[in-house]
Amino acid sequence: MGEKTRPAEELKEAHRVLASFEFEPGGVNRGYTDRALYVNLSENRIESKSIPKEVKDRFTGGRGYGLWYLWQAVSRDTKWNDPENEIIMCTGPICGITQYAGSGKTHVVSLSPETGSVNDNNCGGYFAPFLKFSGWDLLEIQGKAEKDVIILIDGNKGKVTIEQAPYEAVDTYLLVEQLTEIYADDEKDNRNISVVSSGTGAQNTRLGMLNISWYDTQRKRVRVKQAARGGTGTIFRDKKIKAIVIKYKGVKSDSNKVANMDLVMKAGRRINKEILALDHSQSRMRETGTLYLIDHMQNHDCLPVCNFKYGSHPDIFKVGTKVWQEKLTQQEPYDSCWMGCAMRCSHGVDNFELKTGPLKGQKVLVDGPEYETVAGLAGNLGIFDPYFVLEAHFYCDNYGLDAVGLSTSIAFLMECYETGIVSKEMTQGLELNFGNAGAALELIHQMSRGEGFGKIAGQGVHACKQLFVQKYDAEPKFLQDIGMGCKGMEFSEYVTKESLAQQGGYGLANKGPHHDEAWLISMDQIKNQIPTFDDKAEALYYFPLFRTWFSLVGLCKLPWNDIEPADNQEIYQGMEAAKVPEHVQNYCWLFEGVTGKPLTLEGLILQSEVAHNFQRLFNLKMGYGTSKYDTIPYRAMGPVTKEEYESRKERYDKQLKEIVGLDIEGKSTEEKMEALRPYREEQYQKLCDVVYKRRGWDTNGVPALETVKRLKIDFPDVLKLLREYRGGEK
Ligand code: SF4
């Protein structure tokens, strides 16, 4: 608490500059600066690197650049906490334009503490646009500092410093306010600061995330969005980075120095008109953000309840969309996480009084929550209380904890507690039953302190499973069935039992089970538009690639399909309608408008295919990337327990009779479950096989040589990797 009372001048005076570097600011041309800022914290070294044309042509920008530079930086033996692992903060050519909704995303690439392989995140806030306008397409951070440091980039003065910063808070809520005050010249200048931060939860768990800020001039508060999945915040704190601060003044409508402003404006006018006219009658993102999905998922039995056992619950109305519509502060212009986003879906709850933890009694601004936060914390933990959700969500952000990974992990531990795998002795007195809000909050606080059972819980599902088997003799098969993780990362918050395509969307995603690559529940389960294996494979070819593209160019994907033209469903049917062709055309216009290079849909998919396949090969390089790592827990495919089967008895009985051809007369639930399982597992395997083929991968899920050559990623070390793979395990 002592830290909070120090005035800004005193905090700043205590800084010790370890390294300083001057550069020529600006230099953006047609969306690119063609320079990377390299910072080495072990050596206190700061450098400018020019980005070769071949890298630009091959990897487009954003995540593509991140993958390429991380590949160069690490070897197959590099672990997440080795100094050579990097945190790469990427922009992308379209990033920073203010004419089109959703154009300010930062994309972050690193080796994950959860998966041991390459991870990517995307995040709102002003960091990436400021980074680019300062003069950098990406920021590459390597090495580890000895003591807590801040990296400061002054984009107007052209100066970067690494500064030891001993007295600022570590946790985000206070830290971002302190740093904004320290580095802004005056109150008006607050809007020119963006801070990347994390927290104590990140340093004491593997579930660390990054917060990226922008200043809300209406509320006069610093707001944050999250780069959440895969533990990037844990690396940030392991490198002893307290914060990255960027200062940039002078954003203009043409800061990107675009090639054809008319084309950019044409796309922008079209999407903005649509959002203003139709959002209220479609997803209502401007009113509730992604929370409109709560009721929708509940109605379709896809909302995760009690560790993904069920897809709905009678008490969901207590945390339903209507509740949030009342709680969220409505229609705030600064609910855009980058300038000019007409979708402005980054809502918040003002003046929420905290009941627990180090900030107990304070009235705070809680950002969001998003659909995933409510689905995970309320649904999956069985705690249908909006006040609990707000308290837990606030502390997740403050401590730098990924609310999705955390809620899936706690849900798993609650089931382990209720089934006797985890005892009260192990939890040191916490009664971790579903629905116990007090225990869940205490566990979150323990994670931030690195104490008690929080120390174990914070390692995530994968590590907990291993520990319970090795140390407590738990049955591995049951844990594998109910532990909702894949590739080391926890599932995000959708029940996939009735959507085979979404099972693939999770299991086949490069970084782990996240719907960032594919969200096919609506097309597959709700609308039945992709009934055959070939249809599903086509969807699992197209959509992950299309979605990857947003991360190459620096865009948010929400304005792609959370709004659609009024006649989209009349002109197009099925999967074509789901592509929202008019918006795809907008994106082609945007790319051409900014870079001057014409782009077709085929060209767009090709750009993504390069990055997507390279990321799959990166997984192979790190010792993963084959079909066995695409295995998902059985709970993602079907009922693991008797209660789960019986909750959907009619549906499963019907499938057994009509599809499997089983005479169920006189059969017990256990017998029926036993008959259903091989059928569902076989379906998943069949799906993987057709998807691998459609993607140009071999039967073991590795990009085939022809694919690698076609995509022109047949670099010598990639060919060497493939030769070694072919000589080894198949
Ligand atoms: S759509 Fe929402 S999340 Fe995306 S950029 Fe706009 S405000 Fe941010």
Tell me the CA–centroid distance for residue 682 and ligand 1, in Å. Answer: 39
Closest ligand 1 atom to Cα of 102? 5
Q: Which helix (H) or strand (E) holds 240?
A: none
Tell me the CA–centroid distance for residue 556 and ligand 1, in Å. Answer: 6
Tell me the CA–centroid distance for residue 280 and ligand 1, in Å. Answer: 16
Using CA atoms, how far apart are residues 196 and 213, in angstroms rounded to an integer? 7
Using CA atoms, how far apart are residues 233 and 82, in angstroms rounded to an integer? 15
Q: Are 209 and 103 in contact (CB under 8 A)?
A: no
Nearest to 710 by CA among 68, 71, 58, 69: 58
Query: What is the best residue among 105, 226, 343 to mutate for testing ligand 1's pocket, by most ligand atoms within 8 Å of CB?
Result: 343
Nearest CA to ligand 1 atom 8: 337
Closest ligand 1 atom to Cα of 559? 1
Closest ligand 1 atom to Cα of 342? 6
Query: What is the best residue among 558, 560, 563, 583 to mutate for testing ligand 1's pocket, by most ligand atoms within 8 Å of CB?
Result: 558
Nearest to 138 by CA among 224, 210, 69: 69
283-490: CATH architecture:
Orthogonal Bundle (1.10)
Q: Are 88 and 66 in contact (CB under 8 A)?
A: yes
Tell me the CA–centroid distance for residue 409 and ligand 1, in Å. Answer: 27
SS (H, E, C) 314-344: HHHHHHCHHHHHHHCCCCCHHHCCCCCCCCC
List Cβ<8 Å contacts ≥24 apart for 25-28. 25/134, 25/135, 25/155, 25/156, 25/157, 25/158, 26/133, 26/134, 26/135, 27/135, 28/132, 28/133, 28/135, 28/255, 28/256, 28/257
List Cβ<8 Å contacts ≥24 apart for 183-188. 183/152, 183/245, 183/247, 184/247, 187/220
* HSE-up (13 A, CA, CB side) for residue 172: 39
Tell me the CA–centroid distance for residue 283 and ligand 1, in Å. Answer: 13
Query: What is the best residue among 107, 345, 516 to mutate for testing ligand 1's pocket, by most ligand atoms within 8 Å of CB?
Result: 345
Closest ligand 1 atom to Cα of 101? 6
Pairing of β 45-50 and β 210-216: unpaired
Model pLDDT, residue 453: 98
Residues of the chain predicted below pLDDT 70: 1-5, 330-333, 728-730
Tell me the CA–centroid distance for residue 369 and ligand 1, in Å. Answer: 13
Tell me the CA–centroid distance for residue 337 and ligand 1, in Å. Answer: 6
Using CA atoms, how far apart are residues 167 and 562, in angstroms rounded to an integer? 43
Strand locations in 155-209, DSSP E? Answer: 159-164, 193-197
Using CA atoms, how far apart are residues 492 and 379, in angstroms rounded to an integer? 12
Within the chain, what is the greatest distance between any pair of CA atoms?
A: 79
Q: Which helix (H) or strand (E) holds 75?
A: none
Model pLDDT, residue 368: 85
Nearest to 563 by CA among 338, 290, 279: 279
SS3 state of residue 211: strand
Pairing of β 193-197 and β 241-247: antiparallel
Tokens of 127: 């960091």
Model pLDDT, residue 330: 66
The distance from CA 431 to its chain's CA centroid, rounded to whole angstroms, is 30
Tokens of 668: 């017990």
Inter-CA distances, 574 with 16, 501, 523, 559, Å:
60, 15, 7, 20
Tell me the CA–centroid distance for residue 295 and ligand 1, in Å. Answer: 21
Nearest to 639 by CA among 653, 658, 628, 660: 653
Query: What is the best residue among 272, 332, 336, 339 to mutate for testing ligand 1's pocket, by most ligand atoms within 8 Å of CB?
Result: 336
Tell me the CA–centroid distance for residue 102 and ligand 1, in Å. Answer: 5
Tell me the CA–centroid distance for residue 290 and ligand 1, in Å. Answer: 10
- Fold for domain 8-247? Aldehyde Ferredoxin Oxidoreductase;  A, domain 1 (3.60.9)
Nearest CA to ligand 1 atom 2: 345
Nearest CA to ligand 1 atom 6: 102
Domain ranges for the chain, please list them. 8-247, 283-490, 524-555+600-730
Query: What is the best residue among 106, 285, 344, 550 to mutate for testing ligand 1's pocket, by most ligand atoms within 8 Å of CB?
Result: 344
> Please, which residues bridge with residue 194 across strands?
246
Tell me the CA–centroid distance for residue 658 and ligand 1, in Å. Answer: 45
Using left for φ > 0, alpha for ψ between -120 and 50, and beta otherwise, residue 537 falls in alpha
**612-616-620 Cα angle (round to 5):** 160
Query: What is the best residue among 556, 557, 561 to mutate for testing ligand 1's pocket, by most ligand atoms within 8 Å of CB?
Result: 556
Query: What is the best residue among 286, 337, 557 to mutate for testing ligand 1's pocket, by most ligand atoms within 8 Å of CB?
Result: 337
Closest ligand 1 atom to Cα of 558? 1
Tokens of 592: 């051409």
Closest ligand 1 atom to Cα of 556? 4
Sign of the CA dihedral with 41 first, then 46, 52, and 56 last = positive
Closest ligand 1 atom to Cα of 345? 2
Place of tokens 């904890």: 401
Inter-CA distances, 645 with 596, 639, 669, Å:
56, 5, 7
Summarize pLDDT for 318-334 with one digit per residue, the tens.
999 999 988 888 666 67
Tell me the CA–centroid distance for residue 42 and ligand 1, in Å. Answer: 36
Domains 8-247 and 283-490 share a fold: no
Pocket of ligand 1 (CB under 6 A): 101-102, 124, 336-338, 341, 343-346, 556, 558-559
Model pLDDT, residue 326: 87
Using CA atoms, how far apart are residues 310 and 375, in angstroms rounded to an integer? 12
Tell me the CA–centroid distance for residue 713 and ligand 1, in Å. Answer: 33
Using CA atoms, how far apart are residues 414 and 50, in angstroms rounded to an integer? 50
Tell me the CA–centroid distance for residue 275 and ligand 1, in Å. Answer: 12
Using CA atoms, how far apart are residues 672 and 649, in angstroms rounded to an integer? 10
Model pLDDT, residue 730: 41
Tell me the CA–centroid distance for residue 335 and ligand 1, in Å. Answer: 8
Packing angle between helix 533-553 and helix 581-595, nearest 10 degrees?
30
Tell me the CA–centroid distance for residue 562 and ligand 1, in Å. Answer: 11
